[in-house]
């Protein structure tokens, strides 16, 4: 029998937010839950007691038993018959972005980098953090597009209690192929733009450098763009990124949409693949074996946060400055030379690139980029494996992964092309984001290596369609075709045994909806539009997400020692 809809399981988001672990620890509390969702088993337990002391769960069980064990004067919150579930986790978000969906993504990114000051982006991030926390997400992973250290600073501000927000795992700048990601500008200015949001890696040394850059920035997770615009981070470079991140005990999330990008991520042993559009069944299967069972109180921010925007937000939430979910921060993405999606003239491109990217074209640059993000305080290393025909080669990607893993950071790779995906797989990154063009073989490789896919699929009603395309006579059919293709991608990945972690990839604003409301709609669409059961959807945003972020026991389940999210 089909499990009840996800909507019915979200009744207590206000209670989840009230108990969020990033706020100052309250006095001991006993929650009486008429129904408690066991996300591992996918079933309810009735008449339960949850004893929370110092913000963490001390005991869970039958209410009478827990009540007898707790102090006599403990405060009791009786929730009646309402359903209680763990705080939700979004492992792929961009808190310092809220672009107009009516504009082309690349142009919007350029406008953000050239018109919005780091201070303004930080304030936007604080607002988005509050909204996503209000939506029931107590932990997020911010994977890029935060400037040099925007997400790192936001993370720290939340930890220190300056602003409300979720836990943030910050990526600092993305690591991307030379040229960055989605920056169609002239070459004289491209590197300037790239450095604002990316670290590029074209060989293993650059991949390792990029991981170290994000480690320096304070990243919690390494976000990698494996493929973009025909460029793919090769397997050796991807593995260098994954190795460096894993050495630092950081997970690696890889944006990979093409078969090559997905394969690169799988070969590298990354922790998750985001998107994974063209992944094969074999690539999906490669991700299942090495990933542990386990863990929206937690999100992973994978780029577009400036140099340390998501790291700062992560720390702000941890310090209680703002309410919000846990954030696994990536600092700047590591991208191929040129960054990602920056269509600007060459005379200013490097200046713009440096605001959001660290570029890596060989292994030494990859390692340097990782170290830059480490210095910025990143929690995760985000790499752009492919963009605009540029791809981070396998050697550079492996250098990035190696450097990140050496610092115990995970590596997340944006990879959409086959080459970018392959580079991420070969480098042993921790996750591939998107993965649009992944082949069946690449999905199988991901399953074998335990690389997580973060598919970042959107339902039709939330898909951002540029205003210039909205009036085209065949636009509705194109959107339907796209959504159908995304469902097929997700079906193939799941059939191959690839572990799925929820990532909303919210980077734009939607009229009448807060960021938290949008994120919940994307989560619910995994059941309503993309065929997952309600239980699997919740696992993807709780236990599986917590495992990808390397924080099982902290969040992802209502269990002893976890925070009372």
Per-residue pLDDT tens for 190-212? 666 677 778 888 889 999 989 99
Check whether 21 has a pLDDT greater than 50. Answer: no
Residues 6+ apart with CB under 8 A from 513: 521
Worst-scoring range by mean pLDDT, 163-172, 455-464, 525-534?
Answer: 455-464
Neighbours of 471 (CB within 10 A): 7
φ, ψ for residue 435, nearest 5 deg: 65, 35
Distance CA 372, CA 36 (A): 43
Task: Name the band, by pLDDT with cuts 50, 70 and 90, for residue 344.
Answer: low
Helix (H) or strand (E) holding 431: strand 431-437
Q: Would you list the DSSP string of 66-81?
A: HHHHS-TT-EEEE-TT
| 145, 187 contact by CB (below 8 A) | no
pLDDT one-digit tens code per residue, 222-278 = 999 998 877 889 999 999 999 999 999 999 999 998 889 998 999 999 998 888 888
Helix (H, G, I), strand (E, B) or coil at 54: coil
Question: Is residue 59 a contact partner of residue 48, using CB atoms and an 8 Å limit?
Answer: no
Checking if the pLDDT of 161 tops 70, the result is yes
Is residue 83 within 8 A of residue 35, CB to CB? The reply is: yes
> In the structure encoding, which two tokens stand for residue 300, read together?
């992973």
Tokens found for residue 269: 């042993």
Question: What counts of helices (H) and strands (E) characterise the chain?
Answer: 21, 26
Pick from 274, 260, 294, 215: nearest CA to 445: 260
Give the span between the Cα atoms of 159 and 322, in whole angstroms. Answer: 7
Beta bridge partners of 256: 275
SS3 133: helix
pLDDT score recorded for residue 63: 97
pLDDT tens-digit readout, 283-332: 544 443 333 333 356 666 767 677 677 787 778 778 777 667 777 787 88
Domains of the chain: 6-86 (2.30.40.10), 89-295+299-548 (3.20.20.140)
pLDDT surpassing 60 at residue 23 = no
Arithmetic mean of pLDDT, 457-461: 90
């Amino acid at each position: 029998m089909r499990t009840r809809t996800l909507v019915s399981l979200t009744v207590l988001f206000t209670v989840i937010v009230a108990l969020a672990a990033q706020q100052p620890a309250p006095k001991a509390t006993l929650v009486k839950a008429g129904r408690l969702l066991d996300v591992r088993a996918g079933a309810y337990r009735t008449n339960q007691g949850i004893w929370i002391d110092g913000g963490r769960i001390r005991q869970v069980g039958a209410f009478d038993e827990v009540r007898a064990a707790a102090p006599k004067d403990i405060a009791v919150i009786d929730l009646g018959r309402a359903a209680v579930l763990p705080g939700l986790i979004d492992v792929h978000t961009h808190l310092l972005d809220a672009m107009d969906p009516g504009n082309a993504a690349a142009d919007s990114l350029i406008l953000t980098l050239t018109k919005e000051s780091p201070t303004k982006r930080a304030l936007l991030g604080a607002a988005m953090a509050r909204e996503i926390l209000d939506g029931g997400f107590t932990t997020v992973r911010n994977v890029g597009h935060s400037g040099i250290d925007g997400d790192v600073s936001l993370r720290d501000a939340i930890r220190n209690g300056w602003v409300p927000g979720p836990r943030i795992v910050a990526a600092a700048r993305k690591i991307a192929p030379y040229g960055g990601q989605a920056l169609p500008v002239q070459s004289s200015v491209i590197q300037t733009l790239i450095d604002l949001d990316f670290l590029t890696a074209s060989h293993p040394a650059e991949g390792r450098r990029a991981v170290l850059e994000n480690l320096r920035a304070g990243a919690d997770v390494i976000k990698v763009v494996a493929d973009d615009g025909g460029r793919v981070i090769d397997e050796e470079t991807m593995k260098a990124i994954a190795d460096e991140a894993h050495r630092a005990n950081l997970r690696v999330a890889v944006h990979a949409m093409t078969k090559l990008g997905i394969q690169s991520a799988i070969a590298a042993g990354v922790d998750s693949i985001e998107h994974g559009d063209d992944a094969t069944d074999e690539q999906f299967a490669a991700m299942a074996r090495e990933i542990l069972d386990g863990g929206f109180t937690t999100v992973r921010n994978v780029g577009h946060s400036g140099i340390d925007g998501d790291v700062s937000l992560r720390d702000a939430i941890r310090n209680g400055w703002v309410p919000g979910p846990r954030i696994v921060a990536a600092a700047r993405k590591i991208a191929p030379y040129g960054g990602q999606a920056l269509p600007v003239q060459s005379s200013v491109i490097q200046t713009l690139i440096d605001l959001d990217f660290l570029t890596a074209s060989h292994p030494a640059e990859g390692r340097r980029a990782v170290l830059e993000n480490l210095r910025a305080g990143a929690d995760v290393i985000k790499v752009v494996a492919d963009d605009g025909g540029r791809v981070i080669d396998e050697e550079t990607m492996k250098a990035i992964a190696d450097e990140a893993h050496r610092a115990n950071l995970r590596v997340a790779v944006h990879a959409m092309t086959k080459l970018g995906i392959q580079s991420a797989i070969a480098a042993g990154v921790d996750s591939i984001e998107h993965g649009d063009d992944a082949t069946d073989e690449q999905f199988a490789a991901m399953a074998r290596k335990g690389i997580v896919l973060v598919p970042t699929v959107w339902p039709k009603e939330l898909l951002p369609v540029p205003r210039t395309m909205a009036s085209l006579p065949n636009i509705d059919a194109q959107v339907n075709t796209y959504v159908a293709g995304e469902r097929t991608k997700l079906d193939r990945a799941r059939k191959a045994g690839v572990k799925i972690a929820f990532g909303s990839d919210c980077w734009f604003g939607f009229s009448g909806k807060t960021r938290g409301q949008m994120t919940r709609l994307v989560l619910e669409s995994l059941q309503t539009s993309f065929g997952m059961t309600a239980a699997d959807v919740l696992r993807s945003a709780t236990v599986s997400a917590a495992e990808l972020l390397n924080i099982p026991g902290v969040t992802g389940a209502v269990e002893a020692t976890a925070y009372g999210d």
